[in-house]
């Protein structure tokens, strides 16, 4: 490769590294938690007493395999982890009742826990007893730029707000998908909504506004017909757990103004975890979000969880779903139990009856 070609590629190997920094060798994994950062921006790493922050990028290696045995890269491919596998990782907080609750360390440390297969790391605060202990990662150093500054995913947003004021008219119709908990069937329901609307000829955009970095969910929406798809990682956030209300609401509004600005289109939005979860509850209780709802779809794992969730939506947020889906709607017995307590219509996100789903959405 010529010198000119090296410079054009962004890989100028002759450039001087910051004092004390080492070059990151090729072959490392670039996970989806670092979605907003390009590979040519990650050149060197350096050990320091830097205070960990959400979004900080580290370079590390696996020292003990635990629950997570693979990593999702920023293209969606899953890499199998081995003892000694090297990757960049991103500090962040995670809320997952079925998995881990983890936080960014409150002081410099040399070892952290792998909180999700997207490369999110932190310190496990609590875990579901059915899970193995987390995979452990040894920090080799912080990823730094040419000036020695620690790279942080939040410094590299991929979505630039439109700069216009928040309009209340002329917006895409928003289909909001929420649920009783994680693994209630929300993502599959959002995907079914995208499929039905796109099959009927509508232009569909899809977003996951809260949760932990994972390309799988929004890629499923794309596969189901969403022409534009995105989530909070496009703004540089590896997760939304423990963000302030204004930050979470800004993510929602910035995506809204950028991608849901055509009244002929539909915008399918998923909120992670359950209606009791901190950030989901913040958005559900916000007039700015409630005013945008065209149809509200509620998902649950069983009839009792559905009945309780309907009560919470009504009493806490003043909301009544237009339809029920998720795991509960895939079971004839569960639907029969539910029908004794609720007249809200249901649709099966796996069977995907176009007429049934369209009646709930249009």
Distance between CA 127 and CA 105 in Å, rounded? 16
Contacts 24+ apart (CB under 8 A), 146-152: 146/15, 146/17, 146/18, 146/43, 147/18, 148/18, 148/19, 148/20, 148/21, 148/46, 150/48, 150/50, 150/56, 150/57, 151/37, 151/41, 151/42, 151/56, 151/57, 152/53, 152/55, 152/56, 152/57, 152/236
pLDDT in tens, 103-152: 999 999 999 999 999 999 999 999 999 999 999 999 999 999 989 999 99
pLDDT at 8 over 90: no
Residues 197 and 313 in one domain: yes
CATH number at residue 355: 3.40.50.300
Asked if residue 162 is part of any domain, the answer here is no
The tally of domains found in the chain comes to 2
Residues 14 and 104 in one domain: yes
Residues 119 and 224 in one domain: no
Residues 131 and 213 in one domain: no
Residues 27 and 116 in one domain: yes
pTM of the model: 0.93
**Among candidate residues 121, 155, 189, the one where a domain is terminated:** 155
Asked if residue 168 is part of any domain, the answer here is no
pLDDT score of 111:
98
Distance between CA 52 and CA 136 in Å, rounded? 17
Asked if residue 23 is part of any domain, the answer here is yes
**Among candidate residues 126, 155, 184, the one where a domain is terminated:** 155
pLDDT in tens, 315-337: 999 999 999 999 999 999 999 99
Residues 285 and 323 in one domain: yes
Residues 248 and 138 in one domain: no
Q: In 236-362, which ranges are E strands?
A: 266-270, 293-299, 323-325
Asked if residue 206 is part of any domain, the answer here is yes
Enclosing domain of residue 273? 173-361
Residues 147 and 196 in one domain: no
């Amino acid at each position: 490769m010529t010198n000119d070609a090296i410079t054009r590629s962004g890989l100028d190997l002759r450039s001087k590294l910051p004092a004390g920094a080492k070059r990151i060798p090729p072959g490392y994994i670039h996970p989806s938690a670092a979605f907003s950062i390009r590979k040519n921006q990650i050149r060197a790493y350096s050990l320091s007493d830097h205070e960990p922050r959400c979004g900080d990028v580290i370079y590390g290696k696996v020292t003990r395999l635990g629950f997570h045995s693979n990593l999702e890269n920023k293209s969606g491919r899953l890499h199998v982890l081995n003892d000694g596998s090297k990757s960049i990782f991103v500090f962040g907080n995670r809320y997952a009742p079925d998995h881990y609750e983890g936080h960014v360390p409150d002081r410099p440390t040399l070892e952290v826990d792998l909180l999700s297969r997207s490369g999110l790391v932190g310190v496990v605060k609590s875990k579901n007893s059915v899970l193995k202990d987390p995979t452990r990662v040894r920090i080799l150093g912080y990823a730094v730029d040419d000036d020695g500054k620690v790279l942080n995913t939040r410094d590299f947003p991929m979505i630039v707000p439109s700069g216009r004021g928040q309009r209340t008219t002329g917006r895409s119709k928003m289909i909001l998908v929420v649920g009783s908990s994680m693994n209630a069937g929300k993502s599959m329901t959002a995907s079914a909504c995208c499929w039905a609307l796109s099959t009927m000829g509508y232009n569909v955009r899809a977003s996951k506004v809260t949760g932990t970095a994972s390309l799988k969910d929004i890629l499923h929406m794309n596969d189901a017909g969403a022409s534009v798809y995105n989530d909070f990682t496009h703004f540089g956030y590896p997760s939304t757990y423990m963000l302030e209300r204004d930050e979470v609401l800004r993510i929602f509004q910035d995506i809204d103004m950028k991608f849901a600005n055509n009244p002929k289109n539909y915008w399918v939005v998923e909120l992670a975890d359950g209606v009791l979860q901190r950030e989901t509850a913040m958005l559900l209780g916000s007039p700015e979000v409630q005013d945008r709802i065209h149809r509200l779809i509620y998902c649950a794992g069983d009839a009792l969880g559905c009945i309780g969730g309907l009560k919470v939506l009504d009493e806490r947020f003043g909301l009544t779903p237009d339809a029920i889906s998720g795991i509960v709607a895939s079971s004839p017995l569960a639907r029969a139990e539910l029908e004794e307590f609720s007249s809200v219509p249901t649709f099966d996100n796996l069977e995907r009856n176009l007429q049934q789903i369209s009646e709930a959405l249009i």
